[in-house]
């Protein structure tokens, strides 16, 4: 991701979801979705997905884990 447009995060019961909206080096809109969970060693990434959307107006507006957004 070259530029960040917005991001949304939520944490519930030791599980966090993060969406980062932005553009790649070719100015195409892209979405990064991450899931992370709390463990004894700290927070660890549990899932990640990168996807393209048609336009910036299609960016998600809430924190969503990969399985929920790209499911």
Q: Supply the pLDDT for residue 71.
A: 55
For residue 62, the tally of other CB atoms under 10 A from its CB is 11
Cβ distance 54 to 25 under 8 Å? no
Q: Supply the pLDDT for residue 68.
A: 83
Percent of the chain with pLDDT over 70: 96
In the DSSP assignment, the letter for residue 27 is -
Total-model pTM: 0.89
Q: Supply the pLDDT for residue 70.
A: 65
Cβ distance 8 to 19 under 8 Å? yes
Please identify which residue in the block is written with the tokens 């790209």.
Answer: 70
Strand partners, 56: none
């Amino acid at each position: 991701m070259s530029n960040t447009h917005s991001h949304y995060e939520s944490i519930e019961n030791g599980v966090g979801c993060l969406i980062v909206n932005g553009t790649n080096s070719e100015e195409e809109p892209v979405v990064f979705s991450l899931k992370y969970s709390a463990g004894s060693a700290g927070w660890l990434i549990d899932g990640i997905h990168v996807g393209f959307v048609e336009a910036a107006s299609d960016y998600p507006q809430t924190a969503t884990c990969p399985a929920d957004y790209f499911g």
